[in-house]
């Protein structure tokens, strides 16, 4: 083992200003020509593309280090400015320094006494540990004293007020101070006084805030590109540097041959403008420098700033190799820990294998197979794409060179192997809102072109299959693979840290299926049972019930097959807990309570509450008692059993499900007419001033509130009528009551009445002048004119109703659009503020600097993931599990 491979860490980074001397020292070339390439396309010497600053063209060698493209890291050059200019980033600091120091002697305008006392206070502050904000404030207070003083306490000279004429001109008593003078003044401030500005003498001197020499960044930082036409196009920075050199040259010439002061000053200002925009092209008060095409140039600050800037786009997050993206689709016969990937992706994505004495023979064998091997039956086999020699050179494996290379490969080489079944990969769907948005799966290579996974993984990823795409990353290092397997695997993420319950579970049809299988405990013949059980991984049959010499099996017993032995649970099913008010099964404990005793479903209906995400009591209990392995096995079996049973039984829904008898329809009609009448009465009362005003409400508001409560109750009423005719043999009711999809409210909307549409919590009232649509009279306050829909979805909406419905629907859409951006920003801020917190060995919470935030995490030191929905320990369940009832 090579001990030199132990990675080193950067301990710290120190920031400082570059002094003109330093700029010259680190420069490899003084750039004097504002041009880039000569007519032959060769870099001009001492030009902006001088070979001393690095190479971007293949074939050329760097004049400084001799490296070729990719070898040479690039080197700085510099420009000697003809006249000094101010650095735009330090305008504020320059201003305070000019304000607070004496024009004549350079001392900060504080008396010796003040200097002594404040020096002590400043020395007592620690720049590392104290709140930077507080340090800032106290420094400002001290400086303010000096700024206010006009007469220097040391030499009694008077300093007139300095005015900053934005963005870069300083005036004193109306007369401009040139950067040269500013520099002289700043230089004059003695070192001892610099501490009042918070300046660190070892890293920055005030004079350096005025530029006399400008560093020219390496060519790699501002590469020129060659367009298809053969034309060269320079980087924005190069353009800006050309401007600076050109003006600097003209300024120097003018100055040297004694041009009028006015011309020199104009040129000087121009040089200031160009250097300012070179640093920041969005400086307030000056027009941004533009490209010939009219586009504003992207200069230094713009390169770093914002979402597309260097920091957020290239440093905090990077584009990576060994990844792929495709459309996703469902595959219930995969385990929740697996992901199906298409062959084309498997052949492209590789895993590096270090050749050692144990695998060298196997690797040689594999290399011989070439890059697209298959079994004789045509099944996918992993091939080899590249070999990496110990010196780092890559060799691409083709069918032609496979044989030769297999002999050359030896211990110490690295083989880049294609993906194979069982490899561990990371799978991710954006937006990655929580840690379950990126989980580790094991690979299955499948035909087709989409990524596939078990439906129970939809919830953590928040994925559906209407065209969603997901990303897949192949892990490249052994350490990461181990971490992924132990920490990130799907089965390890079953419990959500948000609420300490399962976030993975059966959805939609799977819930419907188990509901049908267990509700009322139906009987199935031996044949049927065997068919259903053939889908799951069990090798025993439940106890049969013998009738007429034939074997029958109970649905609940079939479900019990996938429960682990030793599991105990007792809870209310969704069928009952989901409905408001009293449920019709409340008294028949048989149906409302799920009781599992030693891995056997005694009674109760399996539905969302048992196996669904967010609730899934059974999944939760299995995970806690038997661990992630057992929980994942259970969920896999649930999906298979559900699919197996439902494909046998069949399940479908349609418009027919919502048919209700004629007299029910007329009863709904009746109550809706009653309501309309009531509303009309209310409106009449309002018009005649008879309406009883609610306290604290205007009379108009009172009317609206009254009407809204009327329309609300009529919708509920009609829903009740409609659903009283729809029982548990109705597919959509089954879906709603089992928690598979939709609520009873939605069924009421389809069969009964859609009800009042609303915008911002009130009835519709905008559109035309004093009316919603031109179909109504102005100021019509009746139900129909303000968005009441008496039709059901089943009967169909009339044109005005349809229009109102769209208005109500749009609010939802707008809401979602606004919400996602707002909550996204909130989450970014939260993460940024909290990312540094960790639990230490004693379960205290500290940030990485060492500030103590909590003395015991969450006041009890318990992991929310492992808590019982937030509770430290569910004593009742523990007692039940231990002793039974």
Partner 1 sequence: MKSLLWKDTKANIKKIAENAPCYYGIDYIPEGKVNSGYITADKTNFEFEVKISSVKEFKKSDEILLKKKTGLKSIIKIESIRKLDKIPLSDFKLNENINEIKTFAEGERFIVKYREKDELTLSPDQKEIIDDAVSRGFDIPVSLANKLIKYKKSLSDDKYEKLLKRVDLELKKREIDPYEAVGIIAAQSIGEPGTQMTMRTFHFAGVVEMNVTLGLPRLIEIVDARRIPSTPSMVIYLTEKYKHDEDRVRELIKNLENTAIIDVADIITDVGEMNLTVKLDKLKSNDRLVTLTDVISALEKIKGIIYNQVDDERILIKLQQESFKKLYQVQEQLKITPIKGVNKINRAIARLDPKENAWIIYTQGSNLKDVLNMEGVDATRTYTNDIIEVENVLGVEAARNAIYREAENTLSEQGLNVDKRHLMLVSDMMTFSGAVRAVGRQGISGRKSSVLARAAFEITSKHLLKAGLLGEIDPLAGVAENIIVGQPVTLGTGAIDLVYKGNKK
Within positions 17 to 56, which residues make up the interface with partner 1, using CB under 8 A? Answer: 17
* Inter-CA distances, 655 with 512, 658, 722, 790, 791, Å: 18, 6, 14, 19, 15
344 binding partner 1? (CB under 8 A): no
Give dist(CA 424, CA 314) in Å, integer. 27
In 10 A of CB 123, how many CB atoms? 9
Q: Contact with partner 1 (CB under 8 A): which of 696, 774, 796, 799?
A: 696
374 binding partner 1? (CB under 8 A): no
Q: Among residues 87 and 109, whose Cβ is nearest to partner 1?
A: 87
Three-state SS at 443? strand
Q: Among residues 383 and 460, whose Cβ is nearest to partner 1?
A: 460
Q: Among residues 200 and 795, whose Cβ is nearest to partner 1?
A: 200
311 binding partner 1? (CB under 8 A): yes
Give dist(CA 481, CA 125) in Å, integer. 46
878 binding partner 1? (CB under 8 A): yes
Q: Among residues 279 and 725, whose Cβ is nearest to partner 1?
A: 279
Binding positions for partner 1, 180-209, rule CB under 8 A? 198-200, 202-204, 209
In 10 A of CB 508, how many CB atoms? 15
- What is residue 108's DSSP assignment? B
CA torsion sign for 394, 399, 400, 405 is positive
Binding positions for partner 1, 609-648, rule CB under 8 A? 614
Of 160-168, 506-514, 677-685, 823-831, which part binds partner 1 (CB under 8 A)? 823-831
256 binding partner 1? (CB under 8 A): no
* Tokens 């539905």 -> residue: 607
Q: Contact with partner 1 (CB under 8 A): which of 394, 465, 838, 884?
A: 838
820 binding partner 1? (CB under 8 A): yes
504 binding partner 1? (CB under 8 A): no
Give dist(CA 171, CA 181) in Å, integer. 11
885 binding partner 1? (CB under 8 A): no
β-pairing verdict for 77-86 and 438-446: unpaired
Least CB distance to partner 1 at residue 826 (A): 5
Q: Contact with partner 1 (CB under 8 A): which of 435, 553, 579, 635?
A: 435
* Tokens 């003809």 -> residue: 82
Least CB distance to partner 1 at residue 879 (A): 6
Check if the beta carbon of residue 722 is closer than 8 Å to that of residue 752: yes
The two three-digit tokens of residue 696, written as one number? 């604290």
Long-range contacts of 805-812 (CB under 8 A, 24+ apart): 805/754, 805/757, 807/757, 807/759, 807/764, 808/757, 808/758, 808/759, 808/764, 811/758, 811/759, 811/760
Q: How far apart are the first and last CA of the chain?
A: 59
508 binding partner 1? (CB under 8 A): no
Give dist(CA 606, CA 618) in Å, integer. 9
Q: Among residues 227 and 849, whose Cβ is nearest to partner 1?
A: 849
694 binding partner 1? (CB under 8 A): yes
Three-state SS at 61? coil
Of 1-9, 156-164, 465-473, 597-605, which part binds partner 1 (CB under 8 A)? 1-9
- Reported as half-sphere exposure (CB side, CA atoms, 13 A), residue 354 has a value of 7
845 binding partner 1? (CB under 8 A): yes
Residue 431's closest CA among 465, 452, 460, 474? 460
Q: Contact with partner 1 (CB under 8 A): which of 178, 693, 713, 746?
A: 693
Residue 22's closest CA among 300, 212, 252? 212
Q: Contact with partner 1 (CB under 8 A): which of 309, 628, 712, 731?
A: 309
Backbone angles phi, psi at 793, to 5 degrees: -60, -35
Binding positions for partner 1, 849-868, rule CB under 8 A? 849, 851-854, 857-864, 866-867
Of 100-108, 179-187, 232-240, 430-438, which part binds partner 1 (CB under 8 A)? 430-438
* Tokens 């009279």 -> residue: 777
Q: Contact with partner 1 (CB under 8 A): which of 175, 227, 284, 831?
A: 831
Residues pairing with 845 in the sheet: 839, 854
Least CB distance to partner 1 at residue 858 (A): 3
* Tokens 């080197």 -> residue: 75
The two three-digit tokens of residue 684, written as one number? 């009449």
Least CB distance to partner 1 at residue 477 (A): 11
837 binding partner 1? (CB under 8 A): yes
Give dist(CA 348, CA 324) in Å, integer. 9
β-pairing verdict for 384-388 and 338-342: unpaired
Least CB distance to partner 1 at residue 94 (A): 11
Q: Among residues 327 and 830, whose Cβ is nearest to partner 1?
A: 830
Please list, residue by residue across 196-217, b when 16 or more beta carbons sit within 10 angstroms of its beta carbon and e when fewer do: bbbbeeeebbbbbbbbbbbbbb
Q: Quick one: 608 exposed, middle or buried, by C-beta within 10 A (0-12, 13-18, 19+)?
A: buried
354 binding partner 1? (CB under 8 A): no
Of 71-79, 494-502, 664-672, 779-787, which part binds partner 1 (CB under 8 A)? 494-502
**Torsion angle of C-alpha atoms 308, 309, 315, 321, degrees rounded to 10:** 40
Q: Contact with partner 1 (CB under 8 A): which of 40, 70, 128, 231?
A: 128
Q: Contact with partner 1 (CB under 8 A): which of 38, 71, 116, 132?
A: 132
Residue 246's closest CA among 227, 222, 226, 273? 273
CA angle 866, 441, 323 (to 5 degrees): 125
Mask of contacts with partner 1, 85-124, x by CB under 8 A? ----xx--x-------------------------------
DSSP characters over 366-420: HHHT-SS-B-TT--B---EEEEE-TTS-EEE--TTTHHHHHHH--TT-EEEEEP-
Least CB distance to partner 1 at residue 116 (A): 23
State the DSSP H helix or E strand holding residue 794, giving kind and residue range, or none if neither: none
Binding positions for partner 1, 721-760, rule CB under 8 A? 760
Give dist(CA 213, CA 505) in Å, integer. 65
Give dist(CA 198, CA 203) in Å, integer. 11
Binding positions for partner 1, 592-611, rule CB under 8 A? none
Total chain residues near partner 1 (CB under 8 A): 107
Q: Among residues 539 and 821, whose Cβ is nearest to partner 1?
A: 821
1 binding partner 1? (CB under 8 A): yes
Three-state SS at 876? helix
Mask of contacts with partner 1, 49-88, x by CB under 8 A? ----------------------------------------
In 10 A of CB 152, how many CB atoms? 21
Q: Among residues 605 and 702, whose Cβ is nearest to partner 1?
A: 702
Q: Among residues 252 and 485, whose Cβ is nearest to partner 1?
A: 485
Binding positions for partner 1, 459-488, rule CB under 8 A? 483, 487
Q: Contact with partner 1 (CB under 8 A): which of 99, 280, 557, 730?
A: 280
Least CB distance to partner 1 at residue 817 (A): 10
433 binding partner 1? (CB under 8 A): yes
Least CB distance to partner 1 at residue 70 (A): 18
Check if the beta carbon of residue 503 is closer than 8 Å to that of residue 623: no
809 binding partner 1? (CB under 8 A): no
Q: Among residues 111 and 820, whose Cβ is nearest to partner 1?
A: 820
Least CB distance to partner 1 at residue 206 (A): 9
Q: Contact with partner 1 (CB under 8 A): which of 761, 774, 796, 799?
A: 761
872 binding partner 1? (CB under 8 A): yes
Of 5-13, 321-329, 516-524, 580-588, which part binds partner 1 (CB under 8 A)? 5-13
818 binding partner 1? (CB under 8 A): yes
């Amino acid at each position: 083992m090579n001990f030199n491979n132990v990675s080193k860490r950067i301990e710290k980074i120190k920031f400082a200003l570059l002094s003109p001397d330093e700029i010259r020292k680190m420069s490899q070339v003084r750039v004097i020509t504002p041009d880039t390439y000569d007519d032959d396309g060769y870099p001009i010497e001492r030009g902006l593309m001088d070979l001393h600053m690095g190479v971007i063209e293949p074939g050329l060698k760097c004049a400084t280090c001799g490296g070729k493209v990719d070898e040479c890291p690039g080197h700085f050059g510099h420009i000697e400015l003809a006249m000094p200019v101010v650095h735009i980033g330090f305008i504020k600091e320059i201003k305070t320094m000019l304000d607070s120091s004496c024009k004549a002697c350079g001392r900060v305008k504080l008396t010796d006494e003040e200097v002594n006392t404040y020096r002590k206070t400043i020395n007592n502050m620690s720049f590392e540990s104290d709140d930077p904000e507080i340090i800032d404030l106290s420094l400002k207070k001290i400086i303010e004293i000096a700024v206010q003083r006009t007469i220097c306490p040391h030499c009694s000279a008077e300093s007139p007020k300095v005015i900053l004429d934005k963005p870069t001109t300083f005036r004193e008593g109306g007369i401009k101070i040139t950067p040269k003078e500013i520099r002289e003044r700043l230089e004059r401030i003695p070192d001892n006084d610099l501490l009042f500005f918070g300046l660190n003498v070892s890293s920055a001197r005030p004079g350096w805030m005025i530029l006399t020499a400008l560093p020219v960044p390496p060519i790699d930082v501002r590469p020129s590109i060659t367009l298809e036409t053969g034309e060269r196009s320079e980087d924005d920075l190069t353009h800006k540097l050309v401007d600076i050199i050109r003006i600097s040259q003209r300024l120097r010439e003018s100055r040297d041959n004694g041009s009028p002061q006015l011309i020199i000053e104009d040129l000087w200002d121009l040089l200031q403008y160009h250097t300012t925009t070179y640093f920041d092209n969005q400086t307030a008060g000056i027009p941004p420098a533009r490209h010939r095409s009219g586009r504003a140039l992207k200069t230094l600050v713009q390169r770093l700033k914002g979402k597309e800037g260097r920091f957020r786009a290239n440093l905090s997050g990077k584009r990576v190799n060994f990844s792929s993206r495709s459309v996703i689709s469902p595959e219930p016969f995969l385990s929740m820990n697996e992901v199906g990937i298409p062959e084309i992706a498997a052949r492209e994505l590789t895993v590096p294998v270090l050749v050692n004495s144990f695998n060298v023979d196997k690797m040689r064998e594999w290399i011989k197979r070439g890059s697209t091997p298959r079994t004789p039956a045509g099944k996918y086999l992993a091939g080899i794409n590249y070999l990496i020699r110990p010196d780092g050179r890559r060799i691409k494996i083709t069918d032609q060179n496979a044989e030769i290379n297999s002999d050359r490969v030896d211990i110490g080489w690295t083989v880049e192997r294609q993906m194979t079944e069982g490899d561990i990969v990371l799978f991710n769907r954006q937006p990655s809102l929580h840690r379950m948005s990126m989980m580790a799966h094991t690979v299955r290579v499948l035909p087709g072109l989409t990524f596939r996974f078990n439906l129970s993984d939809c919830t953590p990823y928040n994925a559906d299959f209407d065209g969603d795409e997901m990303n897949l990353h192949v892990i490249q290092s052994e350490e990461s693979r181990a971490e992924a397997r132990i920490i990130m695997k799907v089965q390890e993420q079953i419990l959500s840290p948000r609420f300490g319950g399962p976030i993975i579970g059966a959805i939609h049809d799977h819930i419907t299926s188990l509901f049908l299988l267990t509700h009322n405990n139906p009987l199935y013949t031996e044949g049927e049972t065997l068919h259903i059980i053939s889908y799951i991984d069990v090798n025993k049959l439940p106890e049969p019930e013998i009738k007429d010499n034939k074997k029958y099996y109970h649905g609940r017993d079939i479900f019990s097959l996938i429960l682990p032995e030793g599991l105990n649970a007792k809870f209310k099913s969704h069928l009952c807990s989901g409905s408001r008010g009293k449920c019709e099964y409340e008294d028949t404990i048989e149906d409302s309570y799920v009781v599992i005793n030693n891995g056997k479903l005694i009674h109760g209906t399996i539905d969302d509450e048992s196996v669904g995400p967010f609730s899934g009591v059974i999944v939760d209990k299995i995970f806690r008692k038997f661990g992630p392995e057992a929980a994942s096995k259970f969920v896999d079996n649930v999906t298979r059993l559900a699919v197996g049973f439902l494909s046998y039984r069949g399940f479908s829904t349609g418009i027919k499900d919502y048919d209700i008898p004629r007299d029910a329809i007329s009863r709904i009609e009746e109550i809706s007419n009653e309501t309309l009448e009531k509303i009309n009465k209310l409106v009449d009362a309002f018009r005649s001033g008879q309406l009883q005003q609610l306290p604290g409400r205007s009379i108009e508001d009172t009317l609206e509130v009254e009407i809204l409560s009327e329309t609300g109750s009529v919708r509920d009423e009609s829903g009740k009528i409609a659903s009283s005719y729809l029982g548990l043999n109705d597919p959509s009711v089954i879906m709603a009551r089992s928690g598979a999809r939709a609520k009873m409210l939605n069924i009421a909307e389809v069969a009964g009445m859609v009800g009042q549409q609303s915008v911002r919590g009130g009835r519709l009232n905008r559109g035309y002048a004093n009316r919603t649509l031109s179909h109504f009279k102005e100021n019509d306050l009746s139900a129909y004119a303000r968005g009441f829909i008496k039709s059901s979805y089943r009967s169909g909406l009339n044109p005005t109703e349809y229009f109102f419905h769209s208005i109500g629907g749009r609010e939802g859409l707008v809401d979602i659009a606004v919400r996602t951006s707002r909550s996204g920003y909130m989450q970014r801020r939260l993460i940024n503020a909290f990312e540094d917190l960790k639990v230490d060995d004693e379960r205290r919470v500290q940030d990485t600097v060492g500030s103590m935030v909590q003395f015991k995490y969450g006041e009890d030191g318990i992991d929310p993931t492992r808590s019982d929905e937030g509770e430290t320990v569910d004593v009742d369940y523990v007692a039940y599990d231990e002793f039974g009832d």
